[in-house]
Each structure stands twice: as C-alpha cells, then as structure tokens.
Amino acid sequence: MQNKPIGIFDSGVGGTSIFKEIHALLPNEDCIYLADSKNAPYGNRSKEDILQLCIKNTEFLLHRNCKLIVVACNTATTNAISYLREHYDIPFIGIEPAIKPAALNTKTKTVGILATKGTLSSLLFHKTSDLYASGITIVEQIGEGIVPLIESGQLHSDRMESLLEKYLEPMLEQQIDYLVLGCTHYPYLIPILNKLLPENVTIIDSGLAVAKQTKTILDANDLLNGSNNKPNIQFYSNTDTEVLKSILGGSFKVEYLDF
C-alpha cells in the first residue's frame, strides 16, 4: 500500500495549488491528478451534480489503486466528502476555507472570504463559521467568473483585475484585515491581490495545512512511501491541456483523457 499513489481531483486546474504543497512536503509520493475542467466550475452546480462528479472522479482514482484521495476543491469537499467517507474504504482529505486562523488573529474583527457559491451556501461552511467566527464579521463574496477566466487561460488579464477590484471593494469598505481564499483556484490570484490590497490585509489559503494533514493521515495509516525513487506524477485533463501545462510551468507531463 505504501507504494500506491495519492489521488487528487479538482474541478479543473486550481487543485494544483494543493498538489504543489503536497509534492513539496512529500516528494517521494506518486500522485495522480485529475483536472475535471470540462465540468468546471463546480460552484454553480446543484449538490446532486457535484456529488455525482465526485463519485466519478473517485471511482477513476480507485481504479488506479490510489491509497488516499485529496478532494482538492472547496465546493466538492463541502458538498460531497461526508458521502465519500461513508461509502469508500480509504482516507479522504478535504479542503475548507481557513476561517479559523483568520478569526483568531483579526484585529479589526472583520474577515473577508472570497469563494464559490457552492462553498458559501454549504452547511459545512456555515458550521465552520459558527464554530470559529463568533463575534467576528465575515464579509462573504462569491467569486463569480474567476474560475472560468483561469480555466480559459486568462489569469493575468484586465478582466480578472477588474473583477477582483469589484469583489474587494465592499470588503475593504468594512475594513477587513484578513482575506480567506475559499477556492483552490484562488491562490493563483495572490500576485494580483497583493497589488490591489493594502499592506495590512493578510491573505490566507489552505494549501500548506492540507499538505500537513495529508502527511499526518498517511503516517497514521502506515501509508507513507519510504522509497527514494523518483516519484511517478501523472496529470490528466478532460479539456485542452495547455492551461494545465502553463499552470504547472512545464514541470510535468499532462495527458488528455475524457473521464
């Protein structure tokens, strides 16, 4: 089991922000990454649609003998991970917006969260907010249009900058000092956000925490790969592979697969 791969899936290329943290922390682990870009964004879909897509991706990764699956999508986690954990006999790691550290450290008592509709409307998100953000004002903003722009190769575009300016304005008016990124696509926005935000606003994403949790769960289940062999890293996309290749910077081979 230790030599089997880690499976990772997302509604497109965003989950590569999670993969990069996992690969940096666990460089010996084989990985299989599914970019379900054909069905992106998950955030605008119904709960039933999201669940069926997660089952499809999980079944694919199980057929490839994955020992653990990272649901590298906030919307998929909040809508489907409970079902996946109940119905499949391997560990699942999910992604949640990092509200807790923002709520614990805010000085202005106001925190912004940029996320998809599917995440912000989910029961899990509201449970997390209620648990950790009592007495804190949470300024929620749906990032409508961000994922399609990233998936179409328009990350560094005037349209993206205009969208972000519009979404940040009400948060800044309420004097947020933390911005929580609630979608795995969004860490790729950080260079743009750093230009648009004042210096007192701290950006938080979940990537490193997810990588640490992955290592913890692998260790607890005696699944860590102790080999020093070069890892086998496989990326699959069910649309044009060029966007995924550009996000990865040419470091890994990307294959087209209609899954």
Catalytic residue among 31, 54, 66, 183: 183
Please state, in angstroms and rounded to a whole number, the distance separating the CA atoms of residues 95 and 73.
6
Residue 163 near residue 149 (C-beta atoms within 8 A): yes
Taking each helix axis from N to C terminus, what angle separates 47-63 and 74-87, rounded to the nearest 10 degrees? Answer: 60
Helix (H, G, I), strand (E, B), or coil: what is residue 77?
helix
Q: Tokens 């990350």, residue?
A: 155
Q: What are the φ and ψ backbone dihedral angles of 163, each rounded to 5 degrees?
A: -60, -45
Which residue type, as a one-letter code, is found at position 116?
A: T
Residue 96 near residue 159 (C-beta atoms within 8 A): no
Please state, in angstroms and rounded to a whole number, the distance separating the CA atoms of residues 75 and 78.
5
Task: Mark whether 73 is an active-site residue.
Answer: yes
Supply the Cα-derived Rg of the chain in whole angstroms. Answer: 18
Task: Mark whether 66 is an active-site residue.
Answer: no
Catalytic residue among 31, 54, 66, 73: 73
Neighbour-count burial of 208, counting CB atoms closer than 10 A to its CB (0-12 exposed, 13-18 middle, 19+ buried): middle
Distances (CA, A) of 33 to 207, 243, 244: 15, 14, 11
Please state, in angstroms and rounded to a whole number, the distance separating the CA atoms of residues 216 and 222.
10
Q: Hey, which residues are catalytic here?
A: 73, 183
